[in-house]
Amino acid sequence: MDDPRTIVAMGGGGFSMDPDTLLDDHILDIAREHRGRTRPRVCFLGTASGDADGYLARFYAAFARRAEASHLALFVRTETDIERFLLDQDVVYVGGGNTADMLAIWRVHGVDRALRRAWDAGVVMTGLSAGSICWFEGGTTDSFGPLAALTDGLGFLPGTHSPHYDGEPARRPTYHDLVGRGVLAGGYAADDGAALVFTGTALVDVVASRRSARAYRVERGADGNAIETELATRYLG
């Protein structure tokens, strides 16, 4: 049987960053193919932004007409059985914000375990920034102020991740430094508008909503410097 587990990790983009809907449309297409619903059930997790009302409003404006949209609030919690709620979705879409705070709150509420069960069951996992770092073992984060290493991600995917690779000047050199010194394991970087598509733990596609957006494999070389390899990227426009 084919591996049902899917993660789409966006370096940046989607409804909260792009005027177009190319990446979000692609995620919905994956969910339709894998889950069989014309109107997929899409749940937004805005934990990293403190469940900000404005972020939730933008999510519903982007998805309400083409999906069965919902959200999981944790600061004013309304769902008693989080695992059942997430297993009933077709897509879990994680927003940006403070990655470290988000992971800590998820662990208090058992969301980390519920997400693992949902991923194993074939619910499509996606997100940008904090919502893309979280699936890996770690990555680069500004959760603590200046960019630094985060080493306690969910670990669904091996290695590390750096989002906003072309969108924030410090992202590339910081990731190179952390990987080169062995502070972070090697992994994947993605520009704003680029997304890494994984089946199970294998990278199967790289897609982009911007013609110039790219993704990269970054590994530690024998000399202690980072080695960056550009990945073939498919423009969705």
**CB contact set of 38 (below 8 Å; sequence gap of 6+):** 32
- Is residue 109 part of the annotated active site? The answer reads no
Beta strands in 11-107 (DSSP E): 41-45, 68-71, 91-94
Residue for token digits 């502070």? 183
Rounded (10°) CA dihedral 138, 143, 148, 151 = -20
H runs (alpha helix) in 36-110: 53-63, 82-87, 99-109
Marked catalytic residue, from 71, 164, 176, 209: 164
Q: Which of 16, 129, 162, 209 is catalytic?
A: 129
HEC assignment per residue over 164-222: CCCCCCCHHHHHHHHHHCCCCCCEEEECCCEEEEEECCEEEEEEECCCCCCEEEEEECC
Is 164 catalytic? The answer is yes
CA-CA distance, 62 to 237, in Å (whole number)?
18
- For residue 139, give the DSSP letter: E
The catalytic site residues sit at: 129, 164
